């Protein structure tokens, strides 16, 4: 019995590997965006906490601490802006990778459908050949029987 061989199997394997690579890149980008988003939230929480502590101070201590806090806030705000820019760039890259992944999945699924159709056609052909062989065997057996009854 001959084995099913699909001519585009290698292409399907390559596309599956490409899809896995893109999926890995997407996961890495997602992890980076989550880490940056977490850092931004931590910085904002820290600023809020320090502002709350500043409000709890006595008025005479608050003036000195408030001047330091305002200098600190400007540095942290700049860091937050930089992180937000970085986050938005990563988010754009992540969306592009997601689109690339969806295209790769669509292409792979199309190839898998072609493969399943080719396999179904192959199995139909095998069934036809098997049926033809069985019909020939039956016909040969009947012919032999008829020849034996005629010669007797």
d(CA 148, CA 52): 110
pLDDT over 80 at 143, yes or no: yes
- pTM as predicted: 0.72
**Per-residue pLDDT reduced to its tens digit, 22-57:** 999 999 999 999 999 999 999 999 999 988 888 888
Compute the mean pLDDT over every residue in the chain, rounded to the nearest whole number: 90
Distance of CA 11 to the CA centre of its chain: 18
**Per-residue pLDDT reduced to its tens digit, 76-88:** 999 999 999 999 9
d(CA 11, CA 28): 26
d(CA 24, CA 28): 6
Residue 131 is predicted with a pLDDT of: 93
Residue 152 is predicted with a pLDDT of: 64
Q: Which has more confidence, 150 or 138?
A: 138
pLDDT over 70 at 15, yes or no: yes
């Amino acid at each position: 019995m001959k084995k099913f061989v699909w001519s585009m199997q290698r292409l399907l394997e390559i596309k599956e590997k490409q899809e896995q690579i893109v999926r890995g890149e997407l996961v890495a980008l997602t992890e980076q965006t989550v880490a940056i988003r977490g850092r931004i939230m931590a910085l904002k929480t820290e600023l809020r906490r320090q502002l709350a502590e500043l409000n709890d101070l006595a008025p005479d201590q608050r003036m000195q601490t408030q001047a330091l806090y305002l200098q600190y806030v400007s540095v942290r705000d700049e860091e937050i802006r930089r992180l937000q820019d970085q986050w938005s760039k990563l988010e754009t890259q992540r969306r592009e990778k997601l689109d690339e992944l969806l295209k790769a999945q669509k292409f792979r699924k199309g190839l898998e459908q072609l493969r399943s159709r080719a396999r179904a056609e192959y199995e139909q052909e095998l069934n036809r050949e098997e049926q033809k062989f069985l019909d020939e065997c039956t016909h040969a057996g009947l012919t032999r029987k008829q020849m034996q009854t005629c010669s007797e």
